[in-house]
Amino acid sequence: MNPDEVKIVRPEGLLDGVKASQVRRDISECLEAGARIVLLDLKDVTFIDSSGLGALVSALKTVRAADAKMFICSISDQVKILFELTSMNRVFKVYADREEFERNVLSSP
């Protein structure tokens, strides 16, 4: 995998509708810059509400429409609970941390 084709987006703080829409725009820019894989690293995100979640689903649709892939890693306990309650574990591929993402996605032959 060419490292230029992997882009990491790492938002911070509270991801409500407004902030998650910014994340969606950042992800679109990554795609325009030629990313084939986008990792959304949520290490510094403390909280996501349902509007923020909606914007992340929308980002995933944009990624798929561009024939690219999106992964998520390092979610907080609150985000874990939100994803469970909304069955997002069936929508997003979530890795425990960046290391697990790299091991599973980037080093595949």
Residues forming the site for other proteins (CB under 8 A): 14, 16-18, 47, 49-51, 53-55, 57-58, 60-61, 77-78, 81-82, 85-88, 90-91
Task: Check: CB of residue 79 under 8 Å from CB of residue 48.
Answer: yes
In whole angstroms, how far apart are CA 61 and each of 19, 27, 56, 64, 68? 18, 11, 9, 5, 10
Please, which residue, 1 or 47, has the CB nearer to other proteins?
A: 47
Q: How far is the CB of 107 from other proteins (least distance, A)?
A: 29
Least CB distance to other proteins at residue 28 (A): 15
CB neighbours of residue 24 within 10 Å: 20
Neighbours of 2 (CB within 10 A): 7
CB of 13 to other proteins, least distance (A): 8
Q: Which is nearer to other proteins, 31 or 82 (CB)?
A: 82
Phi–psi pair at 29, nearest 5 degrees: -65, -40
81 versus 96: smaller Cβ distance to other proteins: 81
